[in-house]
Structure 1
Amino acid sequence: MLPWTALGLALGLRLALARGAERGPPASAPQGDLLLLLDSSASVSHYEFFRVREFLGQLVALLPLGPGALRASLVHVGSQPYAEFPFDQHSSGRAVQGAIRAAAQRMGDTNTGLALAYAKEHLFSAAVGARPGVPKVLVWVTDGGSSDPVGPPMQELKDLGVTVFIVSTGRGNLLELSAAASSPAEKHLHFVDVDDLHIIAPELRGSILGAMRPQQLHVSEVTSSGFRLAWPPLLTTDSGYYVLELVPSAKQDAPRRQQLPGNATGWTWAGLAPDSDYDVALWPESNVHLLRPQHLRVRTLPGEAAGAPAAEWGARGGAPAAGLPPAEAAGPQRIVVSHARPRSLRVSWAPGPGAAALGYRVELGPLRGGAVQRVQVPAGRNSTTLQGLAPGTAYLVTVTAAFRAGRERALSAKACTPAGERSRAPRPAPPPGG
C-alpha cells in the first residue's frame, strides 16, 4: 500500500499528464494533415473491421494531434465514400481515437477509387479549408481489393504532394499496391495479418511523423519521365522566393530553371529522359536572412522496352502495365494454397480469361522480411509446389502472368506453414513369436 505522500505524487503526475494531453502538442510539433482511409465495405468481416479500427485508434493516440500541429480525418470506403470526421473536428489524439472507435462499418461495395476522388475534392483541397503549405499523408488500410480503379485518383493525390502509406491485411495485387504507394514501396507498403497490425504501429507512426517533418529537399514519385520535389517551408510570400534548377547529366540537354513564390513547398519536373541522372538545386532567395542552397541528385527510372522478345519476360521487373488490350488484361484470378506442410506448400491459381499467358512466375517471401524464392512455371500449368520453407511462418505469394511484348499481370495472397512436424506414435512391438 502506498504512503499518502507517494499516492498524492502519483495522482498529481497522472493529473498533470492528463492536463498536458488536453492542452495539446508542444509548439515544436510538426504540422500536417493525416487522412485515414478505412475499408468499411462488405468484403471485410466484422472481426477484421474491429481489429483495423483498434489499430487506427492506437496509431493516432500517440501522435501530436491538435491545433497548429497534426490534424486527422477518417473516410470510409464503401459503395459511396463517407467522412466520419473532417480535419478540423477533433483537437487531440484522445478525441480522434474515441471517434475512430465509435465508427460503424458502412458495408456495400469496395469503391476505393471513388473515396480517393472524394478525398481530393472535399478534404485535401484548399478550397474547402485544407491548410496550404503543410505536409499531407494518406494511410489506406485495405483487405487488398477494390471494385473500381485506384491508380488514376491515387496519382492525382500524389500530384498534390500527398505521401501514401498502404497497409494490406495479406491479400490483393502486390504490384498494383506497390504502384499505388509512395516510392520507395518497401518503406510505404506493409503486408500484415489483421491480428498482427499492432506490430507495425510503432514503425508506421515514425514514418508518418517523418513524412510530416521533412528536414530538407527530398524527392518522391520518381518515374521514367519525371519526379516530384518537396522541401520544408523556408520562406514566406513576403520574405523571398525560390529558384529551382535542373541540370541533366547529358551535356546535349539544356539546364532548366523555375522561379517559385516563397510559400511554395514542392514542384514536379516532367518530360525528362528515362534512365538519366539529374542534379537539382534549390536556391532560397531571401531579403531577410541568408539561406544555403540545397542540392540533390535524382536518377529517373528506365523506360519500358517496347516490343521486347517474349522469351525475356522472366528477367524484367513486375510493374503493372497500363493500357493493356482487353484480351491480355486479365492475370491470375484466384490463388489457392493447399497441401500445407511445415516446410512446403502447393500454390494453384485460376488463369484469367482472354489471351493465354506465355508463362508464370511464382514468388514467395516471408511477410516479416527475408529471402524471396522464385519459380518459373511454363504455360499450360497453373500450380507448383514450393519447398524448403520455414515451419510456422506467414508468407506472401505472388503469381505473375506474362503476356506478349513484356506485359505482366499479378495477384498476391498470404500463405502460412504449420508450426511443426506431427510426431508419429511408435508402432507397438509385435508379440513374442508373432
Structure 2
Amino acid sequence: MLAKTLLSLGLWLQFAAGQDTPKRGPQPSLSGSEGDLLFLLDSSGSVSNYEFSRVKEFIWDLIRPFTFGPNDVQTSIIHISTTPTMEFPFDRYLSSGTVQQAIRDTQQLMGDTNTGKALSYAKEKLFSNEAGARPDVPKVMVWVTDGFSTDDISEPMQLLKDMGVTVFIVSTGRGNYLELSAAASQPPEKHLHFVDVDDLPIITKELQDAISDAVQANRLRAVDITSSSFRLMWPQVLSQETGYYTLEYSPVDDPSRKRTKQVPGAHTTLVLSDLSPETTYQVALIPESNVHYIPPQTTKVTTLAGKMCTTLSGWEGTTELTHAASPGPQEISPAQVLISKSKPHSFHVSWAPTPDSVTGYQILYGPLPGNSVELLEVDGSRNGTVVGNLVPNTTYLVTVTAVYKSGQEKSLSAKACTQEGE
C-alpha cells in the first residue's frame, strides 16, 4: 500500500510539474476521424489538487491516438466552477503536441460546482462558430466528475443531446447512478463509467474506441439506442435547396417490413421509434441531390433487449395540500422512474431524487389494461424497491408518489413489462 501511494504521488508530481508522463508503449493512430471533442472538467473546490492532476493525465492519455487538425479532430475544455470558463476554443490547437501541452498547462480554478451553468455555456457558446466548432461534424462531450453538482443538470444536458451531442460521463466515485445514467447518452453501459481516480487508465482504451466510433467522418451512425428506438446521425451533404434524403430501414431477417421516410436536406439527425427489441435493422440513407450524384450510406443497428416499454417522463400527478400550513420550499415530483431487473414475476423500481423533506413513497401498480391496483409503501430514505407477485408477459403501469412532510404529494409514472416464463 505504501509503495503504491508513493508511486501515485510521484506520478502526480511529475505530471503537475509539466514533465512527460510515463511511456505506456506505442498506441495506434486513430486517423480518419473528424469531430469536435469537448471535455467538461470539474475544476471546483470539491476536487482535490491530486484528483485534478490525475484527471488531466487521464485526458492527456485519452487523446494521444487522435489526429488533430481543421479536417480531423478538434478539442476544447470547459472548466466547471462558480462561473464556466473556456480553457481554449476548438480551433486554437491543431496538433497533438500543442493539445497535450495545453492540457498540461491547465490550472484548477476552485469555486462552486455549477455543472448546469457549464452545460448551458457549452450549448450557447462553445458549440458555435465563434468557438471554432464546425457545423457539419459529430459532436462529443466527455464529462469527468466527482459526482457532485450544486445546480440542476437535467435540462441543459437534454438540450445538448437534442443538438446531437454524444455524452460520455466518467464519475470518480460519488455520483448518483440514476441521475448520471439519465444524463449520459444511451445505453448507459456504453456511455457511463464509475471508476476510482487512481484507476482511470483501466477505462482509457474502451473510452478511446467509443469516442472514435462517435467521430468517424462521413458515416451514418446510430446513437441513443434503446429496445424500441435509436437516433440516426449523418454528416451534412445536402441543404434545403439542393435536395432531400430518402431513408429506408427494415429488419435484416424480414426485408418485407421495409419502411421509407423522406427527410429534408437540411437535417442531419432523425429518431426512429416503434421498433422491435433485440432486432437488427438495415438502414440506408439515400441523398436525392439535384446538383450531382451522392452515394448512399448504410449501417446496421441492433436494438436492445426488453419489451417496448418506456418511461412516461414528465407526467405529474395532482398536488394536494392536506393542511393550511404556510407554503414551504417547492416540493418536486420524482424526476426519474427506472424499471430494471425485470423477471416473469417481479421487477425493480427505483427513482430520483430523494429529498430530505420526503417522509415516504407510495408505489401504485396494476396491469394494463385493467382496474386492479396494488399499493406498496416505502420509507423516505430509500430510492427503490422490488415489486413482486406479478403475472408473466404483462405490461404494468407503475406510479411513484413522494409524500412530503408538508402533506403535499407529487407523482411520476412509468410502464414496466414482466418477462415471459413460468
TM-score when scaled to structure 1? Answer: 0.61
Is 1:147 equivalent to 2:171 in the alignment? no
Matches within 5 A, 1:190-205: 190-205=193-208
Given the superposition, is the C-alpha separation of residues 188 and 381 from structure 1 closer, same or farther in structure 2, using an over 3 Å criterion? closer
Is 1:303 equivalent to 2:286 in the alignment? no
Is 1:400 equivalent to 2:404 in the alignment? no
1:130 pairs with one of 126, 130, 133: 133
The secondary structure found in structure 1 opposite 2:103 is helix
Deviation by residue 1:180-207 (Cα, 9 ceiling, x = unmatched): 1111111111111101112211221121
Does the 8 Å contact 1:242/1:259 carry over to 2?
Answer: yes
Distance apart, 1:284 and its partner CA: 2.3
Equivalent in the alignment of 2:360 = 356
1:83 pairs with one of 74, 81, 86: 86
Distance apart, 1:258 and its partner CA: 3.0
- Equivalent-residue separation in structure 2 for 1:128 and 1:313 (angstroms): 41
Matches within 5 A, 1:411-430: none
Equivalent in the alignment of 1:29 = 32
Matches within 5 A, 1:179-194: 179-194=182-197
Given the superposition, is the C-alpha separation of residues 195 and 130 from structure 1 closer, same or farther in structure 2, using an over 3 Å criterion? same
Matches within 5 A, 1:31-430: 31-126=34-129, 129-213=132-216, 216-222=219-225, 227-232=230-235, 235-237=237-239, 240-244=243-247, 257-261=261-265, 264-268=267-271, 281-286=284-289, 288-289=292-293, 291-292=295-296, 294=298, 301-304=308-311, 315-317=346-348, 320=351, 329-330=353-354, 352-357=356-361, 400-402=383-385, 405-407=398-400
The secondary structure found in structure 1 opposite 2:94 is coil
Structure number with greater Rg is 1
Distance apart, 1:88 and its partner CA: 0.9
Given the superposition, is the C-alpha separation of residues 381 and 154 from structure 1 closer, same or farther in structure 2, using an over 3 Å criterion? closer
Distance apart, 1:279 and its partner CA: 8.2
Does the 8 Å contact 1:281/1:294 carry over to 2?
Answer: yes
- Equivalent-residue separation in structure 2 for 1:282 and 1:290 (angstroms): 11
- Equivalent-residue separation in structure 1 for 2:164 and 2:310 (angstroms): 23
- Equivalent-residue separation in structure 2 for 1:127 and 1:96 (angstroms): 19
- Equivalent-residue separation in structure 1 for 2:301 and 2:73 (angstroms): 30
Deviation by residue 1:71-107 (Cα, 9 ceiling, x = unmatched): 0000000111010001011111221111111111111
Deviation by residue 1:304-332 (Cα, 9 ceiling, x = unmatched): 4899xxxx9984455646xxxxxxx526x
Q: Which amino acid aligns with 2:400?
A: R
Q: Which amino acid aligns with 1:244?
A: L
Distance apart, 1:151 and its partner CA: 1.2
Does the 8 Å contact 1:165/1:181 carry over to 2?
Answer: yes
> What is the percent sequence identity of the aligned residues?
46
- Equivalent-residue separation in structure 1 for 2:340 and 2:205 (angstroms): 39
Given the superposition, is the C-alpha separation of residues 320 and 274 from structure 1 closer, same or farther in structure 2, using an over 3 Å criterion? farther
Distance apart, 1:108 and its partner CA: 1.3
Distance apart, 1:357 and its partner CA: 4.4
Does the 8 Å contact 1:222/1:228 carry over to 2?
Answer: yes
Question: Structure 2 stretches of 5 or more lacking a match?
Answer: 1-27, 252-258, 317-338, 364-376, 387-396, 403-422
The secondary structure found in structure 2 opposite 1:75 is strand
Given the superposition, is the C-alpha separation of residues 114 and 27 from structure 1 closer, same or farther in structure 2, using an over 3 Å criterion? closer
Does the 8 Å contact 1:224/1:273 carry over to 2?
Answer: no
Q: Which amino acid aligns with 1:196?
A: D
Given the superposition, is the C-alpha separation of residues 210 and 147 from structure 1 closer, same or farther in structure 2, using an over 3 Å criterion? same
RMSD across aligned C-alpha pairs, in angstroms? 4.1
Given the superposition, is the C-alpha separation of residues 75 and 297 from structure 1 closer, same or farther in structure 2, using an over 3 Å criterion? closer
The secondary structure found in structure 2 opposite 1:139 is strand
Distance apart, 1:288 and its partner CA: 3.5
The secondary structure found in structure 2 opposite 1:183 is coil
Given the superposition, is the C-alpha separation of residues 401 and 408 from structure 1 closer, same or farther in structure 2, using an over 3 Å criterion? farther
Given the superposition, is the C-alpha separation of residues 215 and 302 from structure 1 closer, same or farther in structure 2, using an over 3 Å criterion? farther
Question: Structure 1 stretches of 5 or more lacking a match?
Answer: 1-24, 249-254, 322-328, 332-351, 360-377, 383-398, 410-434
